[in-house]
Amino acid sequence: MKQIIAPSILSADFANLQRDTEMINTSEADWFHVDVMDGVFVPNISFGFPVLKAVKKYAKKPLDVHLMIVNPEKYIQEFAKEGADIITVHYEACTHLHRVVQIIKDAGCKASVALNPHTSVSLLKDILVDLDMVLIMSVNPGFGGQQFIPQSLNKIVELRKLANETNPNLLIEVDGGVSISNIESLIKAGANAFVAGNAIFGASSPTEMIASMKNIDINSTQI
Ligand SMILES: O=C(CO)[C@H](O)[C@H](O)COP(=O)(O)O
């Protein structure tokens, strides 16, 4: 299976959101990545239900909704109702993570958990079997355009090993500082889904950048 590419609409032009949504529709991208920030869990506020609803109206691909918010369980049903297909909550924001994961599944969405750069993947061992995806934050969450934290690579390797034991179909998504220069090493480490904001929306041709990321074949490159 080729890697999943999820352009982050946080880096889109909000004054031309319909245009950027159509760009993603016609590109080789697989999902829309939608970053919801509350100004409490992260030091930034992005957008909420009205923007999600607007994107859903035109999006022809699944919406991968990343909740960087406290008390995510309060809003999961509403996000599902407004069109989320995959919902990611943060390990660091959930006291009763197992319960929150069940709420996501009961709402009809794929369930995913994100780990901040300082959070060990080993903490997910007992819940991995219940998850569709784990999102490895490779920057501190809150802003697009930051530099990839190199230690994230070891976390991907460790998580893939752990997943092979209990949930071999687990998707491992990487978010933050992903670009055409590091995606190959991330695939080799075991990740198979990639969020990219700046690398795509800052490219001279976003569709060509998406195609380049999508079509990297690690078997045809020298190790
Ligand atoms: O979750 C995020 C920020 O918290 C963004 O999705 C992420 O940073 C993507 O942006 P970029 O590819 O420009 O780093």
CA distance 170 to 118: 21
* Residue type (1 letter), 40: V
Distance 146 CA to ligand 1 centre (A): 7
Q: What is the pLDDT of residue 1?
A: 85
Residues 6+ apart with CB under 8 A from 126: none
16: its two tokens: 């031309």
Ligand 1 surroundings by CB, under 6 angstroms: 8, 10-11, 33, 35, 66, 139, 141-146, 175-178, 195-199
Query: What confidence tens digit (pLDDT) does each residue in 81-139 have?
Result: 999 999 999 999 999 999 999 999 999 999 999 999 999 999 999 999 999 999 999 99
Assign domain 4-217 to its CATH superfamily.
Aldolase class I (3.20.20.70)
pTM of the predicted model over 0.90: yes
For 132-192, the three-class secondary structure string (H helix, E strand, C coil) is CEEEEECCCCCCCCCCCCCCHHHHHHHHHHHHHHHCCCCEEEEECCCCCCCHHHHHHHCCC
To the query of whether residue 13 is one of the catalytic residues in this protein, the response is no
- The torsion angles phi and psi of 160, rounded to 5 degrees, stand at -60, -40
Mean pLDDT score of the chain: 97
User: Residues, the chain, total?
Assistant: 223
To the query of whether residue 85 is one of the catalytic residues in this protein, the response is no
